[in-house]
Structure 1
Amino acid sequence: MKGEFSKLPLGRILIAAVVIVLVSTLAVTLVVTGYAFYLAFQVRGAPNQARIGQFAQWISSILTPILEILLTFFGARWVRRESQTIKLSSGLFVGILVVLLGILVQHVFGDAFQPINILWIGLILVAGWLGGKPKA
């Protein structure tokens, strides 16, 4: 068992998880920035900060988990493809690391943990597991 986990591609797992969280965070940032520019052009001046904050909170609660689920699946597939051993558990470890990093980022931005997050966490873990699953 100990030798089994020593064969895990830890570097690829770490790279995949960090890239997944960064891409999902940057995507939300770009969408919110685009919305702020839209509001600024619409009012021809300084946009309403309350509307931007409300939009940012709403879109991040939807877009971040969806992107993390999709990217975790493909990240786990990338790790599985490059690894010759322990394919299933490497995908699950990608999911676990994405969940932990996602919770850390959520905490840094001041978002409170909500009950719906349990569903998102479960779906991210399933996406990692499915991504690490060998083809039939």
Structure 2
Amino acid sequence: MEALFRPLRTLCEQEEKKLSQLGQQRSETQQRIDHIQQQKDIIAQMQVQYGQYPTQTANPLLLQNTANMAQILAPMQKNLTRQQILLTQEHQRINGMWRKQLGRQQGIKWLYQKKQTERQTYLDKQEQKQLDDLAGRYAAAY
């Protein structure tokens, strides 16, 4: 009778594995998003620092360096923002897949447990019936 539950148990294990893989992907994309945000924060801090130099007392070389840094940092910031947007979209897609998989996995797990409970109830009734039959025979014999 265990052979009847084997395919369902195997399916349940497969669904748990898929859920685990999607959870791992979900965590990885969130970590990458957080890392990009940290990079963006560092660049923004650098932009503020380079922009704080007083223009009246600074020499021309310092002003040129500040302008060059601003020209370098702005595209970096823009590129990181674009990467962050794409990763956020990917994270949302994976999160949606994870949620669907979670529902599927929980449904299959519930079905498996329900079938096991029904089977155990059936076996318990069969055993009780056998005990009742034996008790009836024993009582009839004496």
TM-score norm. by structure 1 comes to: 0.35
Richer in helix (by share): 2
Bigger radius of gyration: 2
TM-score norm. by structure 2 comes to: 0.34
